[in-house]
Amino acid sequence: MGPNGETCSGHGECLTLRQLAQDATYNGEPTPIAYGSGLSENSTAWDADFIQHCKCYEPGYGNNSWYNLSAWTGYDCSKRACPTGDNPFVQGRKFERQYIECKATGGSLRLTFRGATTQPIAYDASAVEVKRALEALHTIGSVAVEGDVFCVPPCTTCSGPSTCSSDADAHKACDVHGYPLNVGNFSVEFTSELGDVPPLRVDSTKLLSATVKVGEAVSGSKANVVCSHRGTCDELTGDCECFAAYTSSDANNSFGLREDCGVMLSSGWVAGK
């Protein structure tokens, strides 16, 4: 109960241990577990349906926010979690970057990240359209997407602006200058999710004549610590109270909207010096 008698302070739901195990996540990825599965008689684990605990709401990103909206936390969901960021004194840490290699002649696909799935993305979508689809998910704040045309393979040769030399290449792409596009190979850099994030998952069942591969180009190595270890968390408001000379960053040693105390205010300061 919360301070006013509401279940989970009105900011979560009360679930049994069995239900909580089914809702388990690892690094944000859904990883359902059969409660008591490590026991020889898991179906009769005595506490599975008798002990309850709060699962606090995690609203995720919204309203074009650059950082994850503060989740409720604490055993009764009465406290607010504060923004996280990278330690500004450590150099060389990287955002996670993943690649998507895709070839198709039509249709659409969906991308899933930490349990949230995009609307269908057309096989010939632009980088801007892929970025928009990913940033619409409540599990992603911001990404940088590079590529030309999502799943359309390039022409072998081009006969003119946007025109392939061979009719056999009718589903392929040339640019407006008559050169083959660098297509079918996109990169997605996670600029709001810190650390080694889980891979994007692809549903390509609606693509035509498709081959799709997703992999990790750069493993995310940025820290993901409360108030960037440069402030204290006010659990009543979910705001970081930054130490003197620190303010909100972009998790990349520059000013940004994370509200995480991740960059110094002093002019001329260089990270690590």
**pLDDT per position as a tens digit, 218-246:** 999 999 999 999 999 999 999 999 999 99
Give, as one character, the DSSP assignment of residue 169: G
Nearest of 186, 210, 202, 211 to residue 110 by alpha carbon? 202
pLDDT at 6 (0 to 100): 85
Kindly tell me if the per-residue pLDDT of 97 is higher than 90.
Answer: yes
pLDDT band at 153 (very low <50, low <70, confident <90, very high): low
Top mean-pLDDT range of 33-37, 157-161, 217-221: 217-221
The SS3 assignment for 76 reads coil
Kindly tell me if the per-residue pLDDT of 117 is higher than 90.
Answer: yes
Q: Output the six-digit token pair for 34.
A: 């059969």
42 against 191, higher pLDDT:
191
Q: Which residues contact 44 (CB under 8 A, 6 or more apart)?
A: 36
- Asked if 96 and 199 count as a contact pair (C-beta separation under 8 A), the reply is no
Kindly tell me if the per-residue pLDDT of 38 is higher than 70.
Answer: no
Nearest of 50, 57, 60 to residue 6 by alpha carbon? 57
pLDDT at 51 (0 to 100): 92
pLDDT at 21 (0 to 100): 92
pTM, entire model: 0.81
Q: Which residues contact 231 (CB under 8 A, 6 or more apart)?
A: 240, 241, 242, 243, 246, 260, 261
Per-residue pLDDT, averaged over 102-111, amounts to 91
pLDDT at 169 (0 to 100): 47
pLDDT band at 268 (very low <50, low <70, confident <90, very high): very low
- Asked if 123 and 151 count as a contact pair (C-beta separation under 8 A), the reply is yes
Q: What mean pLDDT is reported for the chain? A: 83
Q: How far apart are CA 210 and CA 231, in angstroms?
A: 49
